[in-house]
């Protein structure tokens, strides 16, 4: 089976060395020397600015998950029940669910067509509209590096600074992606990283939060270790969380950092190879970085790690088996380590990929290739059901309900109907890429 993106250990097996060290030192706990070294390795990685002769001074806290990093960063930004947070809609649920954990309200922002990420124009329209409707600005802005592609950092940061709103960069999928020579996650007040088993590097499960100051790092670590006060007994003056990374998992991360740049280079190579092989396949379009002028040092603006490679299928493209799409209810989770899923009564919803996307997923699975639809926009999920459209603005429709507001331009919903993720991980060889493209060609009905 050729999977989308699975973890790949370093060839030297450095991970085993540090895992064993954790056991030998009896540090099988959520702290320890491996955690300290992994954080130091991450800080060296995120602070580098190639070609500039400069370095940043960002700090990193290793945590149990990227979701934990989002949660703690929202707390650090002062988000409380009843507050509003602008968050990209075209993303995985971990970007928005922590907003709900805090009793706050997600304000979903639709995407721009080029990067597929948060539309800056729509973001500013939403901020103005929320101020007009509620009398106050949102408490934070959460752009997402979808599939590794950078968001428009310049415009989003300019808007955020102008309205005095902190930015939490969700770079969970964008580890090592850069904007004009600077690593994503280092522009905002906080930056979120993920080391889940399918990410660019892995700790089997885990994440990290990039902080701007030592005071922020100390505060995040305090909240991540149950927020205990300095007494010889346990006393708590705030609600804390058990979010620190395990010393065992951090050992895996230390080894993974030795191959991080190799993994990123491989993903970029796979993207380039897909580009060459798919260019003459009618009806299939590879998503590539938007055109944008380089900076004065020659750095790309949209320098993606291409964590996953994605294509869109023309709506009139016919795929073998398309007539059988969505005829049966799925019995198991589709894709990834999804674990337990809730069974459903109907194979269809009111917002789903086109039949040809589902047919291609099934066809590729029969050829032992994992393909998957792109993320369903969060404003379309039942848990955030905002009800009917309530008003229209300049280039957007506002959908609002008790659980959310969504400023929608139709881009993410259209991409969800047409988009497919195809394998790009470290274990995907050039021959695998050629086989995958051949399977796509075979699937198309001429």
- What number of CA atoms fall less than 13 Å from residue 326's CA on the CB side? 13
Cα separation of 262 and 255, whole Å? 13
What pLDDT was estimated at residue 22? Answer: 79
Q: Is the pLDDT of residue 333 over 70?
A: no
Per-residue pLDDT reduced to its tens digit, 50-107: 656 677 899 999 999 999 999 999 999 999 999 999 999 999 999 999 999 999 999 9
Q: Is the pLDDT of residue 245 over 90?
A: yes
Q: According to the 3-state scheme, what is the secondary structure of 342-356?
A: CCCCCCCCCCCCCHH
pLDDT band, residue 293 (cuts 50/70/90): confident
Average pLDDT of the chain, as a whole number: 94
Phi and psi at residue 434, to the nearest 5°: -65, -40
DSSP 129-154: HHHHHHSS--SEEE-B-GGGPPP-HH
- Count CB-CB contacts under 10 A for residue 240: 16
Cα separation of 300 and 174, whole Å? 15
* Domain at 262-375+410-443: CATH code: 3.90.1150.10
- When mean pLDDT is compared across 37-51, 308-322, 335-349, the lowest value belongs to 335-349
What pLDDT was estimated at residue 50? Answer: 66
Token pair of 408, please?
A: 């929608």
What pLDDT was estimated at residue 49? Answer: 82
What pLDDT was estimated at residue 446? Answer: 83
Cα 114 to chain centroid, rounded: 17
pLDDT band, residue 387 (cuts 50/70/90): low
Instruction: Tell me the residue ranges of DSSP E strands in 64-180.
Output: 84-88, 105-109, 140-142, 168-170, 178-179
CA angle 34, 35, 36 (to 5 degrees): 90
* CB-based contacts of 431, cutoff 8 Å, min separation 6: none
CATH class entry, domain 14-259: alpha beta
What pLDDT was estimated at residue 336? Answer: 53
Helix (H/G/I), strand (E/B), else coil: 411: helix
> To which residue do tokens 């929202």 refer?
74
What pLDDT was estimated at residue 303? Answer: 97
Cα separation of 70 and 14, whole Å? 29
Residue bearing the bigger pLDDT, 335 or 120: 120
Annotated domain spans of the chain: 14-259, 262-375+410-443
* CB-based contacts of 287, cutoff 8 Å, min separation 6: 116, 147, 149, 309, 310, 311, 312, 419
Q: Is the pLDDT of residue 236 over 80?
A: yes
Average pLDDT, stretch 243-255?
Answer: 96
CA distances from 365 to 125, 361, 362, 423, 440 (A): 42, 6, 5, 12, 11
CB 237 within 8 A of CB 230: no
């Amino acid at each position: 089976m050729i999977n989308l993106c699975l973890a790949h250990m370093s060839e030297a097996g450095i991970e085993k060395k540090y895992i064993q060290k954790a056991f030998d030192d009896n540090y099988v706990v959520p702290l320890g020397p491996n955690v300290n070294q992994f954080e130091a390795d991450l800080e060296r990685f995120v602070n580098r600015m190639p070609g500039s002769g400069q370095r940043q001074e960002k700090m990193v806290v290793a945590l149990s998950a990227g979701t934990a990093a989002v949660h703690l960063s929202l707390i650090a930004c002062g988000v409380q029940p009843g507050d509003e947070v602008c968050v990209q809609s075209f993303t995985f649920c971990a970007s928005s669910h922590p907003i709900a954990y805090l009793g706050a309200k997600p304000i979903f922002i639709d995407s721009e067509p080029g990067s597929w990420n948060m539309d800056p124009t729509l973001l500013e329209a939403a901020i103005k509209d929320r101020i007009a409707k509620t009398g106050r600005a949102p408490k934070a802005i959460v752009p997402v590096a979808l599939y590794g592609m950078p968001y428009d950092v310049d415009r989003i940061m300019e808007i955020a600074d102008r309205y005095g709103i902190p930015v939490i960069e969700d770079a969970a999928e964008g580890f090592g992606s850069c904007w004009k020579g600077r690593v994503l996650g280092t522009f905002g007040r906080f930056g979120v990283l993920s080391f889940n088993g399918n990410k660019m590097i892995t700790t089997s499960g885990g994440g990290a939060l990039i902080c701007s100051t030592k005071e922020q790092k100390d505060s995040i670590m305090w909240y991540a270790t149950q927020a205990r006060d300095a007494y010889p007994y346990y006393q708590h003056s705030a609600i804390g969380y058990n979010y620190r990374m395990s010393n065992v998992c951090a050992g895996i991360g230390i080894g993974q950092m030795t191959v991080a740049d190799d993994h990123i280079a491989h993903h970029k190579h796979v993207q380039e190879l897909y580009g060459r092989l798919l260019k003459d396949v009618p009806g299939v379009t590879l998503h590539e970085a938007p055109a944008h002028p380089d900076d004065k040092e020659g750095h790309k603006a949209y320098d993606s790690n291409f964590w996953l490679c994605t294509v869109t299928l023309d709506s009139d493209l016919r795929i073998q088996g398309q007539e059988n799409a969505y005829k049966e209810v799925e019995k198991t989770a589709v894709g990834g380590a999804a674990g337990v899923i809730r069974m459903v009564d109907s194979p269809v919803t009111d917002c789903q990929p086109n039949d040809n996307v589902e047919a291609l997923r099934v066809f590729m699975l029969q050829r032992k290739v994992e393909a998957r639809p792109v993320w369903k926009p969060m404003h379309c999920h039942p848990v955030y059901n905002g009800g009917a459209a309530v008003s229209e603005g300049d280039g957007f429709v506002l959908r609002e309900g008790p659980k959310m507001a969504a400023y929608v331009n139709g881009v993410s919903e259209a991409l969800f109907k047409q988009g497919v993720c195809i394998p790009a991980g470290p274990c995907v060889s050039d021959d695998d890429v050629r086989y995958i493209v051949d399977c796509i060609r075979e699937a198309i009905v001429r």
